[in-house]
């Protein structure tokens, strides 16, 4: 979608690098604490460990094929990802456990990696239009995470101070509805003409609003990990269809 909206050629190297890097970092963040605490997990997670090692190896090879500016920004996001999961010290937790900050870190990383890396590797100038695209992607990620946090309310520890824990479910849903407004309006500030994009984004906003309206901690886990996770794919499909 970034290649399409920015009118740049599809870059296989960047795409494969982002895919492998995302897969590896997600697995490390999710499973490394279990492996370190209990060696028995190493047996049951052999396939995941093998795939993660493969992804990391591919990333290392592809990293040296990226442009210098892309490499620098990649390293910044890599450091941020490490700080997200690794504690600063015994007294200070990792960024993931800093109350209320998690959703913003994830949103910045997602928007940055999917917008900045392809553009930098295509030697595109980073101007105000990129800022609009970044903000739109940031808001979308924030919205999706908030939907997840509503579902995860019964699982999250109180010290995390998630948005639903602070505001309550009803106000969090209202916040999501409110965030859909700048997400939609930003489309009209972006440079270039994208046929039917106003209609595509309207359909997307309606879909997200419906997911938000029906989400609760009583839903099946597939409501979020499958259907809500598929919203960016739905956005792509709408662009391809229209």
Q: How far is CA 79 from the centre of its chain?
A: 16
- Per the domain annotation, does 116 fall within a domain? no
For 118-168, the DSSP string reads HHHHTT----HHHHHHHHHHHHHHHHHHHHHHHHGGGTS-GGG--HHHHH-
Whether residue 209 sits in one domain with residue 162: yes
The domain of 190 spans 127-242
Whether residue 241 sits in one domain with residue 151: yes
- Per the domain annotation, does 118 fall within a domain? no
Please state the domain count of the chain: 2
Taking only the tens place, the pLDDT of each residue in 155-183 is 777 777 889 999 999 999 999 999 999 99
- Per the domain annotation, does 155 fall within a domain? yes
Whether residue 179 sits in one domain with residue 143: yes
Whether residue 143 sits in one domain with residue 60: no
Whether residue 156 sits in one domain with residue 80: no
Helix (H) or strand (E) holding 218: none
- Per the domain annotation, does 108 fall within a domain? no
Whether residue 236 sits in one domain with residue 140: yes
- Per the domain annotation, does 75 fall within a domain? yes
Whether residue 142 sits in one domain with residue 90: no
Whether residue 139 sits in one domain with residue 91: no
For 41-74, the DSSP string reads HHHHTHHHHHHHHHHHHHHHHHHTTS-HHHHHHH
Whether residue 76 sits in one domain with residue 38: yes
- Per the domain annotation, does 195 fall within a domain? yes
Taking only the tens place, the pLDDT of each residue in 186-236 is 999 988 777 899 999 999 999 999 999 999 988 888 999 899 999 999 999
- Per the domain annotation, does 113 fall within a domain? no
What pLDDT was estimated at residue 97? 66
Across the range 71-77, mean pLDDT stands at 94
> With DSSP H G I counted as helix, E B as strand and the rest as coil, what are the percentages for the chain, rounded to 5?
75, 0, 25
Whether residue 164 sits in one domain with residue 81: no
Name the domain boundary from 102, 118, 143: 102
What pLDDT was estimated at residue 211? 96
Whether residue 232 sits in one domain with residue 141: yes
Taking only the tens place, the pLDDT of each residue in 46-60 is 888 899 999 999 999
- Per the domain annotation, does 121 fall within a domain? no
């Amino acid at each position: 979608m970034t290649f399409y909206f920015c009118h740049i050629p599809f870059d296989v190297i960047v795409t494969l690098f982002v895919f492998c890097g995302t897969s590896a970092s997600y697995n490390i963040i999710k499973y490394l604490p279990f492996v370190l605490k209990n060696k028995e997990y190493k047996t049951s997670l052999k396939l995941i460990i093998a795939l993660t090692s493969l992804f990391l190896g591919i990333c290392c090879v592809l990293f040296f094929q990226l442009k210098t500016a892309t490499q620098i920004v990649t390293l910044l996001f890599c450091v941020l990802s490490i700080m997200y999961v690794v504690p600063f010290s015994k007294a200070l937790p990792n960024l993931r456990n800093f109350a209320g900050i998690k959703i913003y870190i994830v949103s910045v990383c997602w928007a940055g990696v999917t917008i900045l890396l392809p553009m930098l590797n295509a030697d595109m100038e980073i101007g105000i239009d990129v800022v609009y695209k970044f903000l739109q992607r940031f808001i979308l990620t924030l919205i999706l995470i908030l939907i997840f946090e509503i579902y995860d309310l019964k699982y999250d520890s109180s010290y995390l101070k998630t948005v639903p824990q602070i505001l309550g479910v009803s106000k969090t849903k209202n916040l999501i509805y409110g965030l859909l407004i700048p997400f939609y309006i930003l489309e009209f500030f972006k440079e270039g003409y994208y046929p039917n994009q106003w209609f595509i984004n309207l359909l997307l906003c309606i879909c997200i609003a419906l997911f938000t309206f029906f989400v609760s901690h009583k839903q099946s886990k597939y409501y979020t990990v499958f259907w809500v996770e598929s919203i960016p794919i739905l956005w792509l499909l709408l662009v391809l269809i229209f």
